A and B are shown apart, each in its own frame.
Chain A
């Protein structure tokens, strides 16, 4: 699952499955609809971009922009292409499907790698964020 529809209530936490367990990463109200934030996930400290759409759905994708190599996807604008919800990289403006991470503009990055963003499982739960966060 890569998206979640959270309830209206404010006391909710966003969690990402880092491969070992669901880990809280931020409060739901930290997310500004239509924008993203960056969080660190897992033992390797991987950078993940978390977004909430205007309609409320939450998505988590890799933060590294394959075209520039910079970790800036979380600073992109959200929008839509046809019926596809997208995030647009702030660097060179390629669009990525928020649900699958697929790049809609190019198949490959300049270094030859496939231009795909890893999608992380994300959910919103009614729990208080741990003090540590």
Chain B
């Protein structure tokens, strides 16, 4: 096959998407193969600019990358980082780069994006003035912020508000200056802008609308100090971020005589081709055939797909795109879709506003009742349903006002969506395509549908809607949506718990042979293991139980990314002696482990290999430490604040209670992990209200809170009972825990469990405090049995050579450490080596512990 050369200028979001789309084109039927060279101005491969702001909250540049590892090599792409194109010679069909290279092309694709517009006000180039587009920009802002106290963002659009959020998060007093009379002038109307403004001001950001920037004055070091606004305001600022819009980077095209739009943008036709048949332009640098320059990533992706298909000879068109947006700005949901500003002739508006709750919603409807567009501020739940209706200009499924009031939420299911509605806009997948995947191609689950349609694999915002479309279609086809644990059991976890308890089953084989089918899987085996353990069936590594445990439980440690393990000894209540700290330190030093204080008030030792675990634990156990069950679905930690003993506000001994609770419930296996905390007074330094069960001291006794959660879906715990004395408190927690263990689903924390418990908190209170179900005696007995039979899993493991035998690297070479587990040094510690790095294997312990076995021949 003939090879032709393709040069891509710009390795940004759209450029990368183009490379992927090109590689996905079927090889068969293509007129020729493309040898691809990519010229990139930035020092790193394409990254996710849309989520750039998350860099401030700790997402690393590596995590933002859009270029899958090995992608460039696998497709034989010549990627030249930091070497931008400087000129195009259309007659000779060559591109020149900054380093002086000259590349011939048969096809040239320009994906140069845009640059931030900086208004030419005096002082705009003072030190402390920044733009917001690249990782280097953010690095510069962070460096500058170290010496700054007040920041101003010029521009109150989408990006400006993101930048303001970032400055706020860095602790700067923050101003936003917007020329238009409202924030996000492009996306929302005056009413929406007002609600947005109030919400953003509530977050402590000062908003100046209808004001331009006049001048920035610098001090004698050339650093920005004050900013004068057109409304006469003077602001003392020492950091300025310009976010006043972007301009297409079309200079290369201008210089070689390609037509550009009046306000910039490389003019292209419906195939994204310039008038030169060898040159295409895609993404933010292009002026599309509908006369618009799109500043969003989805239209850019559509253009990239178009050109990739063109080049593969399959033909495609791009004639325009939807500019709907939904974002969370400083924690406020904002969405705008379709004709949001009601510019269509004869358009009518339907409004719902609740300024106390900070909600503003507007639908734009045509005279004949079709949905054209809308704006949602403060509550954008219905965006996923409404946007496709507006894009399809569909007839409203009911009265418009009903779609806006929260009570009508239940009616907005996906059934009201017409078939042609686009559910996933990243990959342009319609509802019909999803339905067909289920009904015609036999897909039965969301992951299957994702794999075969690509829906939901972009930004992910459509996954919820995707799930309901799939579920509806399955139901419509009479296919039962399985309620059971997995393909091997039609029972829920709670039902299996009852079966195991009532029939006295002690092993997995009997359970699956009598009540399930097949051989089990990674879902049902650990779930059954947890049920067996919760009902007191001995050591988790004994007999058949050993084969059920997830890998963490199997090695009583936490698997890390390179196959090594972490070790977390229990530190009840977070109280630890100097001697204990020294012991942990010595062990970590001797084994060369990485140490870190966890979010749970204890110490994690990382980087142990399987064969090192028994040696490490022997020393820990000898020093009086126990398993911390960081690996198990079991009690993790009971955090404490220092309490009355030391703190001048404390009213009870919170540390003593936390230790007591942690020792009482340690080792208790549950449907999911359990966390707790005890605070010594209402100031709540232990954050008890974010725990599965939390206790806060009162002058009368203890308040018990249940069903709290941090993590992905935080929930404040509910007050179950107030001013309890010590014994009642313990009894109530005993029952609460055992009731949860008995009735919750697999991997269901107490928060969602409580959320779906019929009768809610009142029912729970009746069960555990008034014994309304008459099961309290049983629950008490189960807990008493747990407390009596508890033994430290690690001590018990070490005491039995049969159990220790599994902790070897290789069955036929037990002394050989796994050579693929390698580390590198970082910040005075170690971390797993990345695939491209050479690392060293962990050295065996320098000093053998006193109890280490010595083998004699």
Contacts and interface: CB of A to CB of B under 8 A. Distances in A.
Interface of A: 24-26, 30, 32-35, 37-40, 45, 47, 50, 53-54, 64, 68-72, 75-82, 85-86, 88, 90-91, 93, 95, 105-106, 110-113, 133
A71 B810 CA distance: 11
A30 B802 CA distance: 10
Given A69-B835, A79-B520, A88-B522, A34 B68 contact: no
A19 to B, nearest CB: 16
Nearest to A65: B563
Contact of A79 (B522, B808, B821): B522
A75 B551 contact: yes
A111 B70 contact: yes
A26 B818 CA distance: 17
- By Cβ-Cβ distance, the 8 closest A-B pairs, closest first, are A34-B547, A90-B551, A70-B563, A79-B521, A80-B519, A111-B70, A80-B518, A112-B74
Interface of B: 68-71, 74, 447, 451, 487-488, 509, 518-522, 524-526, 544, 546-548, 550-551, 554-555, 559, 561-563, 806, 808-813, 816, 818-821, 835
A93 B554 contact: no
B810 A39 contact: yes
Nearest to A87: B522
A115 to B, nearest CB: 13
A116 B748 CA distance: 33
A41 to B, nearest CB: 8
B560 to A, nearest CB: 9
Contacts of A95: 521-522
Contacts of A25: 811-812
Contacts of A34: 519-520, 525, 544, 547-548
A47 B810 CA distance: 8
Contacts of B559: 72, 75, 90-91
A79 B520 CA distance: 5
Given A24-B812, A50-B811, A77-B548, 18 more contacts: A26-B811, A34-B544, A37-B811, A38-B811, A39-B811, A40-B812, A47-B820, A70-B562, A77-B520, A78-B519, A82-B518, A91-B559, A95-B521, A110-B68, A110-B69, A111-B69, A111-B70, A113-B70
B551 A76 contact: yes
8 contacts: A64-B820, A71-B821, A75-B554, A77-B548, A79-B518, A79-B524, A110-B69, A111-B69
A25 B555 CA distance: 22
Nearest to B564: A70
A12 to B, nearest CB: 14
A34 B74 CA distance: 37
Contacts of A79: 488, 518-522, 524-525
Given A71-B820, A77-B550, A110-B69, A38 B809 contact: yes
Contacts of A40: 810, 812-813, 816
Nearest to B509: A54
A20 B476 CA distance: 58
Contacts of B71: 112
A81 B521 contact: yes
A54 B519 contact: yes
B550 A90 contact: yes
